[in-house]
Amino acid sequence: MSFTFRRALTVLGSTALLSTGVAATSSGSAIAEPPNIPDPATAASMLSQLTVRPDGSQDGYDRDKFPHWSNQGNSCNTREVVLRRDGTNVQVGDDCYPISGSWYSPFDGATWTDPSDVDIDHMVPLAEAWRTGASHWTQAERKAFANDLNSPQLIAVTDDVNQSKGDKGPEDWKPPSQSYWCTYARMWIGVKYKYDLTTSSNEKAALNDMLDRC
């Protein structure tokens, strides 16, 4: 079974309002932001349209079924493209790997200057996607999901914070920085809506609570 994800982010007959790709820290400095984050009202409407269903089985899941960090051209893979997009004053070598720059992690408010301290988070984890619909996709479709640069699915964050998230949904894990909960929920919902993934009742309740902070 293959999916047909919702390419046009339109809800209730009106075009979804999306972020411009730039946010601000509490100090007012600009930081990069993943593309196409729905605004709070649009996210709430999207969430209401997701199919509510208990998560499926983890049986058969393997990260290798979601080939990621694929070649994006110019000697860059997906991880390197996101590092460059989400960082500040990033300079790269001939192999596209960053040689300088800094990365602000909105999950916890930390800033890093060594790219090895930064992970690229899959907003909706690969295993979560598997349990909520991706087990029926083709490998090519799962590769597209794991390398999607056109939705809020990929973001550079502190590595150990990303590892603490693992494959948990928002009912079991939220970013340490509560000020980011609204944006996190909007990103999560945008990805689930685009790929027509299901949501559990507990996940939906957690997302609604996070949207209430917007």
Is residue 24 scored above 60 in pLDDT?
no
What number of CA atoms fall less than 13 Å from residue 93's CA on the CB side? Answer: 4
| Position 31 confidence tier, pLDDT thresholds 50, 70, 90 | low
Is residue 12 scored above 50 in pLDDT?
no
Q: Where are the domains of the chain?
A: 10-54+61-211
Please give the structure tokens belonging to residue 47. 């969430």
Is residue 70 scored above 50 in pLDDT?
yes
Q: Is 196 exposed, middle or buried (0-12, 13-18, 19+ CB in 10 A)?
A: middle
DSSP state letters, 100-119: EEEEEETTTTEEESSGGGEE
**Helices 201-211 and 40-49, packing angle to 10 deg:** 170
CB 138 within 8 A of CB 2: yes
Mean per-residue pLDDT of the chain: 89
Q: What is the pLDDT of residues 108-151, one digit of tens each?
A: 999 999 999 999 999 999 999 999 999 999 999 999 999 999 99
Strand ranges in 113-214 using DSSP code E only, listed in sequence order: 118-122, 154-158
Bridge-partner residues for 120, per DSSP? 156
Q: pTM to 2 decimals?
A: 0.88
Mean pLDDT over 31-54 rounds to 94
Please give the structure tokens belonging to residue 202. 């507990």
DSSP H or E segment with residue 125: none
Count other Cβ atoms within 10 Å, centred on residue 132: 24
Q: What is the pLDDT of residue 39?
A: 98
Backbone angles phi, psi at 69, to 5 degrees: 60, 50
Is residue 9 scored above 50 in pLDDT?
no
